[in-house]
């Protein structure tokens, strides 16, 4: 972050105890850890009440903090224009991806659940509770948007507003957009003789050519890791998030579940038995879609006009803001516009929160402390009147 600099702290915290599926880990359930990054804007050294805490969540296979840094940089700029200040930005790698995957190497199985990350986010919030100052807003991309929805349903008052960019929430359990990325990723290359060779290969692909140049540079630096400890220019590199963990997150196999050989006691709100003719599906998106009417925070949806995941019909099922000309990788391609629209909308929500919070605090503070924990006269009278025929 060059123009709007931040102080960056890196943390490691334990994951939520017990995973959704038993084979998410190779052995014990309590061994996993999370890699967390905290960005504190240097332009706001003395945050005041009402300054915003942001929790960011990443898409499948994209390194958490580094790949989204251009978005946070632009967000800081547009937040000032929208009339609010940012206290901290927190972003966490999912347990089986990016820097967290490196921490958990050797402990990861073959069955991560989308539901796990929402619980891990809640664990992280509780771990850093003194620094998680309200108002807290969530900005999530793809499956990360699903995690923020899930977190908000679990704890409705935690997040004041959500910016959901291509969130992984669908009305159907099987969509073509899940199968194609999974099939492509299962065949993707994992090793390159050097970082320079990998960069040369990336820039030739249309997939990466659409990215903001800042994001692509960060992908080359942090989407790859050295195979050996050597730091030389010719060191062999591999993907930070393995293709295996990426594919596991796109689709969930039904064949073992339907055969009865596995998962007899797995709690699944949308069971695989509903899809006897499908080899794969993903239960979590449809579960969240059906719960959207119960979502408490205000929500801004952002969809790419050329998205491979969301057809026009699927977009019509949600309120949306469409970034013209972008694909499903909106935060990677139209970084500035994503930040601008998000900050503009969040500015209005934050001002509403400040007004409502002030009114609530004034009304509550006006009541003596010894009366705050007692039944009021109005309460007693209402009870008495409710007993009358």
Domains and CATH numbers, the chain: 6-175+282-363 (3.40.50.1820)
- ∠79-80-83 over CA atoms, to 5°? 85
In whole angstroms, give the CA distance from residue 166 to residue 309.
8
Gyration radius (Cα) of the chain, Å = 22
pLDDT of residue 34: 97
Q: Report long-range pairs for 205-209 (Cβ below 8 Å, ≥24 apart).
A: none
- ∠170-173-176 over CA atoms, to 5°? 85
What spatial distance separates the first Cα and last Cα of the chain, rounded to whole Å? 67
For the chain, count helices (H), then strands (E): 16, 13
5 contact partners, CB below 8 Å, separation of at least 6: 41, 42, 43
* pLDDT (tens place) for every residue of the chain, 389 residues total: 444 689 999 999 999 999 988 889 998 777 899 999 999 999 999 999 999 999 999 988 776 556 788 888 889 989 999 999 999 999 999 999 999 999 999 999 999 999 999 999 999 999 999 999 999 999 998 899 999 999 999 999 999 999 998 888 887 765 555 677 888 889 989 999 999 999 898 888 877 777 777 878 888 888 899 998 766 667 899 999 999 999 999 888 877 654 455 554 455 555 655 666 677 888 888 888 888 888 999 888 887 665 555 555 555 554 443 333 333 334 445 677 788 889 999 999 999 999 999 999 999 999 999 999 999 999 999 999 887 76
Pairing of strands 136-141, 161-165: parallel
Q: How many CB atoms lie within 10 A of CB 226?
A: 14
> Using CA of residue 80, residue 84, residue 88, residue 90, what is the dihedral sign?
negative
pLDDT of residue 70: 83
Neighbour-count burial for 257-289, b at 16+ CB within 10 Å, e otherwise: bbeeeebeebebebebeebeebebbbbbbbbbb
14 contact partners, CB below 8 Å, separation of at least 6: 30, 32, 33, 34, 123, 127
In whole angstroms, give the CA distance from residue 241 to residue 250.
14
pTM (2 decimals)?
0.87
């Amino acid at each position: 972050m060059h123009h709007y600099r931040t102080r960056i702290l890196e943390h490691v915290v334990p994951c939520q105890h017990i995973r959704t599926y038993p084979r998410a880990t190779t052995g014990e359930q309590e061994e996993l850890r999370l890699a967390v990054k905290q960005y504190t804007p240097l332009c706001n050294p003395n945050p005041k009440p009402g300054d915003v805490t942001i929790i960011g969540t990443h898409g499948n296979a994209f390194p958490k903090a580094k790949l989204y840094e251009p978005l946070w940089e632009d967000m800081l700029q547009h937040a000032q224009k929208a009339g609010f200040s940012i206290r901290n930005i927190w972003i966490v790698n999912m347990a089986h991806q990016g820097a967290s995957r490196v921490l958990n190497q050797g402990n990861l199985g073959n069955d991560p659940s989308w539901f796990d990350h929402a619980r891990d986010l809640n664990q992280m919030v509780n771990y850093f509770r003194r620094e998680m100052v309200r108002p807290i807003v969530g900005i999530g991309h793809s499956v990360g948007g699903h995690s923020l929805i899930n977190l908000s349903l679990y704890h409705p008052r935690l997040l004041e507003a959500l910016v959901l960019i291509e969130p992984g929430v669908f009305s159907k359990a099987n969509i073509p957009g899940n199968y194609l990325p999974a099939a492509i990723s299962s065949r993707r290359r994992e090793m390159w003789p050097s970082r320079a060779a990998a960069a040369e290969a990336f820039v030739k692909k249309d997939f990466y050519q659409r990215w903001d140049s800042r994001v692509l540079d960060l992908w080359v630096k942090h989407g790859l890791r050295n195979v050996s400890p050597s730091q030389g220019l010719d060191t062999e590199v591999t993907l930070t998030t393995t293709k295996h963990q990426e594919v596991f997150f796109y689709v969930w196999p039904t064949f073992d579940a339907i055969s009865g050989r596995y998962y007899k006691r797995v709690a699944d709100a949308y069971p695989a038995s509903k899809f006897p003719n499908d080899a794969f599906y993903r239960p979590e998106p449809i579960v969240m879609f059906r719960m959207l009417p119960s979502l408490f925070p205000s929500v801004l949806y952002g969809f790419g006009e050329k998205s491979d995941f969301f057809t026009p019909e699927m977009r019509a099922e949600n309120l949306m803001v469409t970034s013209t000309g972008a694909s499903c990788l909106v935060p990677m391609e139209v970084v500035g516009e994503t930040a601008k629209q998000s900050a503009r909308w969040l500015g209005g929500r934050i001002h509403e929160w400040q007004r409502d919070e002030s009114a609530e605090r004034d009304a509550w503070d006006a009541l003596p402390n010894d009366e705050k924990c007692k039944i009021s006269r109005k309460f007693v009278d209402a009870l008495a009147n409710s007993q009358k025929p």
